[in-house]
Structure 1
Amino acid sequence: MPPKVLVVDDEANILKTMGICFEAIGFQSRLLSKPQEVLEALQQEQFDLAFVDLKMGPMDGLEILAEIKRHSPETTVVIITAHGSIDSAIETIKKGAYHYLQKPFDYKELQIFAQKAWEHHELTREVRELRQQVAAARGSDEFLTRNREMLEMLELAGRVAESSISVLIEGESGTGKELVAQLIYQKSPRAGRPFVKINCAALPENLLESELFGHVKGAFTGAVKDRQGRFAMADGGTIFLDEIAELSPTIQAKLLRVLQSKEFERVGESKTTQVDVRVIAATNKNLDEALKEGTFREDLFYRLNTMRLKLLPLRERPEDIPLLIQHFLRKFSPETVIEISPEAAQALRAYRWSGNVRELENVIERAVLLAHNHLVTLDHLPEEVRSTLEKPQSALSLEEMEKLHIKRVLQHARDYDEAAQILGIDPATLWRKRKKYGL
């Protein structure tokens, strides 16, 4: 729908001219020469913008502003003022007006001003809606997304939750795999029973085997007492195995047995333990490639791959960035509303987010800490985020150009190997250049 504009001015010629001007840029306008008719107009329809003359009778612009704010608080108000009334116009901004437009103004100036006011109005509306969505999801561990493909994935995850089948979640680091696993658990019949998490890449093989399956006293140096493993802790509930592609062949074999027979032995023990555990696994690597390379067991893959959920990287769902920004602003400033400047918002949307949602969260946490006057500006963002808005500069040296190019390739590439391939250099050379430029 085209923007709807209310124009209030007791000078008929100005009123008519403004109406023609707005129609020329596709705005619908309602023209009022009598200020006392404003309340009736507000009760009849909703306006996006209002242009109100400051000096009128029997009601002046300040009184009209108060009426609009009372009856239509979401309307963006612009005050029209003569040169001698600038101080009064500034006072209206303090009372809720968006800006003021000084007489005399020409046709083109009014159109540009109206379009900027409309952009501000739309941005304000979007932020308001995002805050409402964030508030509705707050405390629920909800996966925040507007992306159609991600919403379909979440719907599938909800249906899968009702069963006890194994689930494999794939996605780059920082995309929210653990959160999806948590959601599946919370919606499953096993909710309320144990939910045990372990990062398979965080421990060496000998310690990981003990961590997963437990050990008995004396099983190895340092095993001074019996210890229960994560699978035993998760009995009756769910276990989340993150970075499953990092498992060694030995532990892969033991995991396959748990999935097939629901049994295992602790390290150093011959007694078999029975468990009833649902397994949710996650990986940031391509398991199809791992199968071809022989680093991941085919039979284990098919056991885990009963249901496969794929999470998109943040760069492939840019519509989620504003929603997540508002979520993190509220998370890191729960008591005070923090705004974000249009330039900062533009830079955050343009950045590639190779670290996905986790990287965005860290950037917003830093920005909230640095923000003054409750406003995040471009200066509060890291240099690599700010640089997305930079235009090419002919004055850069060859080294500076190389650094800038490598930085941008690193933002786009999945990993350092792909970055080296794009740059046409070997990984060792890329490592030296990253060290040289501090990238």
Structure 2
Amino acid sequence: MIAQFPTPRLRRWLSLYKAAWIIGFPLILIYLWRRGQKDALYLQHLKERFGTHKPMPKSVWIHAVSLGEMRSAVPLVRAFLDRGETVVTTHFTPTGRREAERVFADEIAAGRLRAVWVPFEFRWTYAKFFRAFTPKYGLVMEVEIWPAMITECRRKGVPLFMCNAQYPSKSYERDQTKTPARADLMRGFAGALVKSALQRDRFASVGVTNIAITGETRFEQPIPAELPVAGVAARAWMAPDRPVITIASAVEGEDEVYIDAIKATRGENAPLFVYVPRKPERFAEVATMLRDAGLYVVNRTACFDAFLQGRGNAPQVDVLLGDSIGEMYFYLAMADKVIVGGGFTPYGAHNVIEPLAMKKPVIVGPDIHTIEYPAVEAITAGVCTHVQSTAELINAIGADPQADPDQIDAFFTEHTGAVQKTLAAIDVFTTR
């Protein structure tokens, strides 16, 4: 076990990190400017990135860097609000911030929640952030290591916990050899609220203390009631007699795999594919790729109105492109099966929980190191199919579903309860 925090090795690394931020800060501003050309929200509320806010003292602070992390935070945020807490959520990407603003619009209007940008990685920006919110404690969702955040929380006495935490196998192996300072940095957290016993053992092995197995909060993520209803109606309108396959959160680098699979399944009674790219800035690019491959494509924004009602006659197409934000449960409700994106890239698959919540059998690509829990358990339970190649993907698309809704429901029920376990662990760790 590591004897101190920060270690001499980590002190040296943090000095280099600080220098890199100072020297590279103009490049960071250029990065935000370039991203802002595609999404203007990157350049709005810029003073927040420097830690400037109106005071909202003694808040619970939840850092959810982007959309996936915010979705996992939603049931936990709701639980804190139900306790009477005020909450500040911090984000780096517009998708995470928009999700917080959409889900908690009423609470924001009432002054009970703020969704803001995470400060730049400087000591003084966090000092200003802490003065505005005086956090009771902070929760960092999923796997996010922000060195200045961790060290400044430690310096100012703000307990900072990893929440819904996992230590992916690739990251764990890399930290044992190539990036040991990153493992040292984890000791700066006040504790870790982890998804499984395997994750507990990994964090403990690098010296993290105050570890509790709390499970996965996404199993309790609320589902907007109107989206599944609209999805079922859309399925009946667009594909009453065809199978429907939703490709959810497809990322750059795997589009060719999915396009090959779509082309391979064309023919009599071919499935309708609902193709949902992970990032909004890829909508136009993916539409072009699909059309260049000779596929008939219609955009969701072209054939459905703002209320998700079909316009005119149903189009006869190969692919419905999901070019909208915040409507994933609409796309999932249309499906017979769901392919979860990311698994055909080295970055790893995205979470399988949302489609399982809709009682849909799931297919994932070969790389699942990012979602070991609950993917391994779901594969063992027979509610998720793990494919290793394009050929296996094509076979899985055409095969009968591996699991029925009751089997998926039983798996889902077995893994709920994370929110209450998380709250209980925080209460214990913050009162010691």
With normalisation by structure 1, the TM-score equals 0.30
Rg comparison, structure with higher value: 1
| Greater relative contact order structure (CA < 8 Å, 6+ sep) | 2
